[in-house]
Structure 1
Amino acid sequence: MSFHASLGNLSLKQLRAFVCVAESRSFTSAATLLNLSQSAVSLLVRELESELGLKLLDRTTRSVRMTEAGAELHPVAARVLQDLGAAIAGSRELADRRRGRVRFACSPLQSSLLVPRLIGTFKARYPHITIVLRDTPGGEIIDLVASGEVDLALGVLPADTPFVAAEPLLTDDLLLIHPRSYGWGPRRRPTWKDIAAHPFIALGEHNSTRYLVDYHAAQVGVRLTPACEVAFVWTAIGMVDAGLGLSLIPGHARPIVQKFADVAMQPFEPQRIKRPIALMRHRQRTLSPAAEAFADFLRENFPRHDRRTPAARS
Structure 2
Amino acid sequence: MTPTVKQLRAFVVSAQSDSFAEASERLHLSQPALSLAIRKLESGVGGALFARSGRHMTLTPEGQAFLPVAVRLLNDWTEAFADLTELFSKQRGKVTVAALPTLAAGLLPPVISTFGERHPRVNLSVHDVLADEVGQRVREGRADIGVSVPPLDSDDLAFEPLLLDRYVAVCPEGHPLLVGETVAWAALAGVPFIGINRLSSARQAIDRVMAEVGGTLDIRCEVNQIATVGRMVAAGMGISVLPALSFRQIAAAGLGHRPLVEPVIERRLGIITRRRQPLSAAASALHALLRERAAEAP
Tell me the TM-score normalised to structure 2 length. Answer: 0.91
Matches of 1:273 and 1:304, distance apart in 2: 22
Maintained 8 Å contact 1:169/1:304 = no
Residue 89 of structure 1 corresponds to which residue in structure 2? 82
Residue 285 of structure 1 corresponds to which residue in structure 2? 277
2:24 to 19, 26, 31: 31
Residue identity opposite 1:130 in structure 2: N
Aligned length: 297
What RMSD, in angstroms, separates the aligned Cα atoms of the two structures?
A: 2.1
Q: Secondary structure at the match of 1:162?
A: coil
Alignment of 1:264 onto 2:256 = yes
Matches of 2:85 and 2:110, distance apart in 1: 28
Residue identity opposite 1:209 in structure 2: A
Residue identity opposite 1:102 in structure 2: V
The Cα of 1:73 is off from its aligned counterpart by 0.8
Alignment of 1:202 onto 2:198 = no
Residue 21 of structure 1 corresponds to which residue in structure 2? 14
Maintained 8 Å contact 1:257/1:265 = no
Residues 256/10 of structure 1: CA separation in 2 closer, same or farther (3 Å cut):
closer
Matches of 2:162 and 2:296, distance apart in 1: 7
Maintained 8 Å contact 1:94/1:289 = yes
Residue identity opposite 2:265 in structure 1: I
The Cα of 1:188 is off from its aligned counterpart by 4.9
Residue 119 of structure 2 corresponds to which residue in structure 1? 126
Alignment of 1:79 onto 2:72 = yes
Matches of 1:185 and 1:266, distance apart in 2: 7
Residue identity opposite 1:278 in structure 2: G
Q: Secondary structure at the match of 2:97?
A: strand
Residue 105 of structure 1 corresponds to which residue in structure 2? 98
Maintained 8 Å contact 2:171/2:238 = yes
Alignment of 1:252 onto 2:258 = no
Residue 153 of structure 1 corresponds to which residue in structure 2? 146
Matches of 2:272 and 2:181, distance apart in 1: 38
Identity over the aligned pairs, expressed in percent?
34
Matches of 1:13 and 1:149, distance apart in 2: 40
Residue 224 of structure 2 corresponds to which residue in structure 1? 231
Residue 193 of structure 1 corresponds to which residue in structure 2? 186
Maintained 8 Å contact 1:139/1:206 = no
Which stretch shifts more, 117-126 or 229-238? 229-238
Maintained 8 Å contact 1:152/1:280 = yes
Q: Secondary structure at the match of 1:150?
A: coil
1:49 to 33, 36, 42: 42
1:221 to 187, 201, 214: 214
Maintained 8 Å contact 2:171/2:178 = no
Maintained 8 Å contact 1:170/1:304 = no
Matches of 2:8 and 2:101, distance apart in 1: 54
The Cα of 1:154 is off from its aligned counterpart by 0.7
Matches of 1:117 and 1:218, distance apart in 2: 37
1:171 to 164, 167, 182: 164
The Cα of 1:77 is off from its aligned counterpart by 0.1
The Cα of 1:160 is off from its aligned counterpart by 4.7
Residues 185/9 of structure 1: CA separation in 2 closer, same or farther (3 Å cut):
closer
Q: Secondary structure at the match of 1:74?
A: helix
Q: Map 1:137-148 to 2 at 5 A.
A: 137-148=130-141
Residue identity opposite 1:297 in structure 2: L
Matches of 1:233 and 1:40, distance apart in 2: 71
Runs of 4 or more, structure 1, over 4 Å off, are 183-186
Maintained 8 Å contact 1:27/1:38 = yes
Matches of 1:114 and 1:301, distance apart in 2: 8
Residues 167/188 of structure 1: CA separation in 2 closer, same or farther (3 Å cut):
closer
Tell me the TM-score normalised to structure 1 length. Answer: 0.87
